[in-house]
Amino acid sequence: MSHRHDPHPEPQAFGPQWWEDHYRQHGAGHGAPSPQLVAEVADLPAGSALDAGCGRGADALWLARRGWQVTAVDVSPTAIGQAEQLAAAAGGDVAANISWVAADLATWPPPARYDLVVSQYVHPGIPFGEFVARLADAVAPGGTLLVVGHDHADAHSAAHAPEQASIGLDSVTGALPAPLWSVETAESRTRHLDHGGTRKTFHDLVVKARRAR
- What tens digit of pLDDT does each residue of 170-211 get? 989 999 999 999 999 999 998 887 767 788 888 899 999 999
Do residues 159 and 211 lie in contact, with contact meaning Cβ atoms separated by under 8 Å? no
Q: Rounded mean pLDDT of 98-102?
A: 97
Q: Where are the domains of the chain?
A: 42-145+158-186
Report how far residue 205's alpha carbon sits from residue 150's, in angstroms, rounded to the nearest whole number: 6
Among the listed ranges 86-90, 130-134, 183-187, which one has the minimum average pLDDT value?
86-90
Residue 102, judged by CB atoms within 10 A of its CB (0-12, 13-18, 19+), counts as middle
**Reported pTM:** 0.83
The per-type count for the chain, helices as H runs and strands as E runs, is 7, 8
Is residue 16 very low, low, confident or very high in pLDDT (cuts 50, 70, 90)?
low
Q: What mean pLDDT is reported for the chain? A: 84
Neighbours of 172 (CB within 10 A): 26
114: which residues sit within 8 A by CB, 6+ positions away? Answer: 47, 48, 49, 50, 71, 138, 139, 140, 143
Structural class in CATH, domain 42-145+158-186: alpha beta
122: which residues sit within 8 A by CB, 6+ positions away? Answer: 52, 53, 105, 131, 149
Q: Give the distance between the most distant pair of CA atoms in the chain.
A: 63
Report how far residue 22's alpha carbon sits from residue 148's, in angstroms, rounded to the nearest whole number: 20
Neighbours of 68 (CB within 10 A): 24
